[in-house]
Structure 1
Amino acid sequence: MSGITDYLQDKKSALDARKLRLVQEKEVPHQQLKAGIRVAGRSGVREIRIRDFQIISDSGPELAGHQLGASSPELQLGVLGSCLSHITLIQAAERGVPLEAVEVEVTGNMHPLAGKPGYEHIPVYLHNIAYTLRIESSASSKELAALHEAVELACPILNLLQQPQQVAGTLVRTKQKRRKQV
């Protein structure tokens, strides 16, 4: 199996082709991304559907879960790490920074009593989020520092978490399915 160095060449070719295509298009529309989530009956497992992919999210037994998948906060940390690693590859390919290995570890705190009486001061959301980006590379320290800076500027999930966002929510009441009487 070839390594990241070979992949970066493929990534650079793909990025160059994408840039050329985008420059040639007269109007580039926004991408609307979508995820659908359905709670699976008696198990309470959350089935996350994104395009043709399915991810299972679940809780531990202390929340009536079955440990069939990562919790939503854990998935959020994983999404941040995935995005940071992907943007690192993109920025390295664009800059010609050689990489032999890339690993990201993301941590965050949650407290089971957050927001409850006596614990109102503890956020009910992930907080104290931190990541460590480990890179094996023959590049200079200066090149790696510039790469890291570029990653932090370009990473959409990192910036989503760092910048205030408005999230619109709507509740739609659906009709109950009639149960057959026996």
Structure 2
Amino acid sequence: MTTLNEYLVQKKAAVEARAAKAEDNTEVIVHRAKVRAAGRSGVREIRIRDFQIISDSPDDFAGYNLGPSSPELQLGVLGSCLTHITLIQASIRGVSLETLEVEVTGELHPLAGKPGYEEIPVYPHNIAYTVTLGSTETDETIQALREAVERVCPIYNLLVNPQTIQGQFVKKS
């Protein structure tokens, strides 16, 4: 059976090479995502680099159920980031991992923000994650891994720390 341990060797080499390269180039990396609503369907076509991701609503919300909703994607993004950072931190620390799985849950109330329900958040809340590891490491090692992951995971920290977002609406003629 192939475990993640073979991959962690590759991950560690890549992390070290990237860190060495970053010392020579401290330029801020700007990430970009562009989203377009498709005519007739309202499906959101998300473009990131050379990739396209489809986001849609369920049938009962005027969608065609062609992809996950934005709140579902956000939970998936958190899970993906926690997974990736766990792999990085395990590789750096020499933590043995045979398997890794992350599940993220969050609540979204259908009446949130409506009259009489103003106190219910309009965003996903009560977010929780569970990382399930196949590992022979000690509980102390796993706890140290968790602390390291939570300290440096970009999306986890984006969600737990207040953010300022600048925005504008531009009308096209």
Return the TM-score normalized by structure 2: 0.97
Secondary structure at the counterpart of residue 128 of structure 1: strand
Query: Separation in 1 of the partners of 2:48 and 2:172?
Result: 22
1:40-71 C-alpha deviation (Å, 9 max, x unpaired): 00011000000000000000122100000000
- Where structure 2 has 5 or more consecutive residues not aligned to the other structure, the ranges are none
1:103-130 C-alpha deviation (Å, 9 max, x unpaired): 0000000011101111111111111000
Structure 2 equivalent of residue 8 of structure 1: 8
Structure 2 equivalent of residue 58 of structure 1: 56
Structure 2 equivalent of residue 116 of structure 1: 114
Q: 1:93 aligns with which of 69, 91, 94?
A: 91
Query: Separation in 2 of the partners of 1:161 and 1:20?
Result: 29
Q: Which has the larger radius of gyration?
A: 1
- Where structure 1 has 5 or more consecutive residues not aligned to the other structure, the ranges are 176-182
Return the TM-score normalized by structure 1: 0.93
**How large is the Cα RMSD of the aligned pairs?**
1.0
**Could you tell me how far 1:157 is from its partner in structure 2?**
0.2
**Could you tell me how far 1:22 is from its partner in structure 2?**
2.0
Structure 2 equivalent of residue 71 of structure 1: 69
Identity %: 60
Runs of 4+ deviating beyond 2 Å? none
**Could you tell me how far 1:102 is from its partner in structure 2?**
0.5
**Could you tell me how far 1:21 is from its partner in structure 2?**
1.8
Secondary structure at the counterpart of residue 62 of structure 1: helix
Letter in 2 for 1:56: I
Secondary structure at the counterpart of residue 40 of structure 2: helix
Structure 2 equivalent of residue 180 of structure 1: none
Query: Separation in 2 of the partners of 1:55 and 1:21?
Result: 30
